[in-house]
Structure 1
Amino acid sequence: MKTNILKSISLRRTKLFKAVTALISLIILTIRDASAQDGNAGINEATTQVKSYFDTGTNLMYAIGAIVGLVGAIKVFKKWNDGEHDTGKVASSWFGSCIFLVVVATVLKSFFGV
């Protein structure tokens, strides 16, 4: 009975040792392959992907600016028709946020040269 338990423990240790050895070998091979690759190629690929999305992103910012402008115009018109006195303040804040979005999109586009 005692020998069966010892054989079982020995078999488990052997399986565990083989599994750990295989895992360590896999990690070493992965690290070796990763360090052998050129890091510049990955950076250039990421740059290309970001540049391909940049025009779409700036167009999206222009569209959001247009929507903000329309919503602001409607809110200002409503306040003006209701006879509220702070119409100028509300108009300048909505107009300013719309201009901010357009300026940020334009500056980013010209800054990154896309």
Structure 2
Amino acid sequence: MKKTRKTLYAALALLIISISASAQDGNAGINEATNQVKSYFDTGTNLMYAIGAIVGLVGAIKVYKKWNDGEQDTGKVASSWFGSCIFLVVVATVLKSFFGV
């Protein structure tokens, strides 16, 4: 029984030592990942602005068609498309200012 406890304690000690050694390399990995994400952030923000512009154009065409057809829910459709475009632009701007990139 004592021999198995000693073996268990030795294995536990080795595990703790290996985890602490890996944690030091982990910090470097986390810093590298952070730098890579920051390098793609401006491109992602510009992509969100482009998607917002495309959604806005599609929405404007859809609202124009409904308006010309005389449908009653034109205002509701216009507000929902306009809201989605504003949402995309605000999210991109807030993320950019929040992460300080």
Q: Counterparts in 2 of 1:1-114, with a 5 A limit?
A: 35=22, 38-114=25-101
| Alignment root-mean-square deviation, CA | 1.6
**What stretches of structure 1 of length at least 5 have no aligned partner?**
1-30
**What stretches of structure 2 of length at least 5 have no aligned partner?**
1-17
The 3 A distance-change label for structure 1 pair 40 and 77 is same
> Higher relative CO (CA 8 A, sep ≥ 6), structure 1 or 2?
2
Report the TM-score when normalising by structure 2.
0.76
Report the TM-score when normalising by structure 1.
0.68
Question: What is the identity percentage for the equivalent residue pairs of Structure 1 and Structure 2?
Answer: 94
Displacement of 1:67 in angstroms is 0.3
Q: What's the CA shift string for 1:44-100, capped at 9, x where partnerless?
A: 100000000100001000000000000000000000000111111000000000000
